[in-house]
Amino acid sequence: MQIAILLYDGVVALDAVGPYDVLKLMPGADVRLVAATAGPVRTDGPLSLVADAAIDEVARPDIVVVPGGPGAVAASRDERLLAWLRAAHEHTQITASVCWGSELLGAAGLLDGVQATTHWLVHDELARHGAIGVDERVVASGRIMTSAGVSAGIDMALRLVATTAGEDVARRIQLILEYAPEPPFAGAGSAATADQAVVAQMRAGYARSRG
């Protein structure tokens, strides 16, 4: 099973690497990091990831995962990436996104009428693409699977494994990774349960950054 994880400048590393570390353990998985051109791709920080192949070399993957990040807006205007997503989606078992990777799926026209989720800061923007926003960490809608911010990508990848290879395989992978989150600050990781003054400040900051 060929799995393509799409990279672009400004991607969040964990959005790509979290699902990668899950999916590479699925029996028969051939995981490729792909980009417009093969080679190093700069994340939203000093770290670079390396694309093994250009998108043209991976034309019909069984699964596509699109990570998010602040570079998603620019990437969503790259018609080469969008054309590849549309063409690949015609043949995928599942086309998935993490966080703001939903922006690329939406720009490619893959979210129209689809239930979807994304990072809480940009959740309202799903409607621009005709998506039906759902406030969940992972949402499966037909062959589209979307997930909320960063860490939810690991949850999504485990769900994806369960869907394609069976729940027993997914459970074993979760155990191998010792994925049993116990965050140090109860409630702080969700906009619904975090300090609402902090949530409001972050929303205001995001609004200012968008002009």
CA–CA dist 155, 192 (Å, integer): 19
Nearest residue to 45 (alpha-carbon basis) of 22, 14, 24: 14
The single residue listed with the structure tokens 């590479």 is 24
Within 8 A by CB and 6+ apart from 22, the residues are: 154, 157, 158, 160, 161, 173, 177
- The DSSP result for 37-101, as a single string, is SSEEEEBSSS-EEEESEEGGG--S-SEEEE---TTHHHHTT-HHHHHHHHHHHTT-SEEEEEGGG
Nearest residue to 94 (alpha-carbon basis) of 149, 136, 140: 140
Does the annotation count 203 as an active-site position? no
Which residue among 33, 99, 138, 150 is the active-site one?
A: 99
Exposed/middle/buried for residue 191 (C-beta within 10 Å: 0-12, 13-18, 19+): middle
Active site residues: 99
